[in-house]
Structure 1
């Protein structure tokens, strides 16, 4: 199948925008909002799923309501950038539940981790007992989020509509 950027039309983009905003919309309601009948709308959604444009569905949970009041961003450098060392590091990162995202970076640091914990004491424990002990870590720097101003995880789609 061609890349999605080659075949998405305005209706597909409307469907994607609505599902990003409200993933629990029924097919009937979604069809109504994009001005289609339910069957063609469902066909489009299935095509978007099969093409991997819609990767999965999930509930977005409120961190504060769940007692997760600390969000830390941890910049990490590793000493060895070889494939085995990097894979070992990434496997260890994947095993730590408090790490909710991990990005490979260019620039001053090698990785950026987003770490979520209930308290600062819990973060200190994770940092001292686990993050500092990740394989190959040569430098680690933490910044704490004081407040989240924009937290929605919707992707921008405007560039596809031209």
Structure 2
């Protein structure tokens, strides 16, 4: 059964804060940090997982060490913004592995994409062969990131 924000107490918030910083923390250590024993901590974690608040655990990878240091933000304007066109674009953009994030935007453009590639040549290829080929793309504008000041992986 889904959990909404109003159902979260201070222990739930403390669990979420700690797990967001270290998803591999043991239940014993997590309980120690938030002031509960292991069993109630585990029960709360299970409730948060079953309730859809915690959606999973994953490894955070360093994109620079993986050769993906080039970051570009791409404004995408669509030629059609009716629901079917939006859904077609949404579905297709999910299949582009270089697109790290895709957001529908309320602005003079329709989507903002965060694209990670090895270098500018690789980005140019991705833009030409993948992003520009997505359904209903009318135009794009690219902004290349020079430095990540704050980035959550």
Q: Please state which band the TM-score falls in when normalised by the shorter chain.
A: over 0.9
User: In the alignment, which residue of structure 2 is the partner of 1:57?
Assistant: 57
SS state of the match for residue 41, structure 1? Answer: helix
Aligned pairs for 1:26-45 within 5 A: 26-45=26-45
Consecutive unaligned residues in structure 2, runs of 5 or more: none
Q: CA shift at 1:49, angstroms?
A: 0.6
Q: Deviations over 1:57-79 (max 9, x none)?
A: 11111111111110111010101
Q: Is the 8 A contact 2:2 2:51 kept in 1?
A: no
Aligned pairs for 1:80-91 within 5 A: 80-91=80-91
Quote the Cα distance in structure 1 between the aligned partners of 2:71 and 2:96.
15
SS state of the match for residue 39, structure 2? Answer: helix
SS state of the match for residue 130, structure 2? Answer: helix
TM-score by length of 1: 0.90
Consecutive unaligned residues in structure 1, runs of 5 or more: 154-162
The answer as to 2:15 corresponding to 1:15 is yes
Q: Deviations over 1:9-28 (max 9, x none)?
A: 11111110000000100111
User: In the alignment, which residue of structure 1 is the partner of 2:139?
Assistant: 139
Quote the Cα distance in structure 1 between the aligned partners of 2:93 and 2:5.
32
Quote the Cα distance in structure 2 between the aligned partners of 1:140 and 1:20.
34
Moved >6 Å (runs of 4+)? none
Q: CA shift at 1:2, angstroms?
A: 7.0
Q: CA shift at 1:152, angstroms?
A: 2.0
Quote the Cα distance in structure 2 between the aligned partners of 1:69 and 1:2.
38
Quote the Cα distance in structure 1 between the aligned partners of 2:34 and 2:12.
9
Q: CA shift at 1:134, angstroms?
A: 1.5
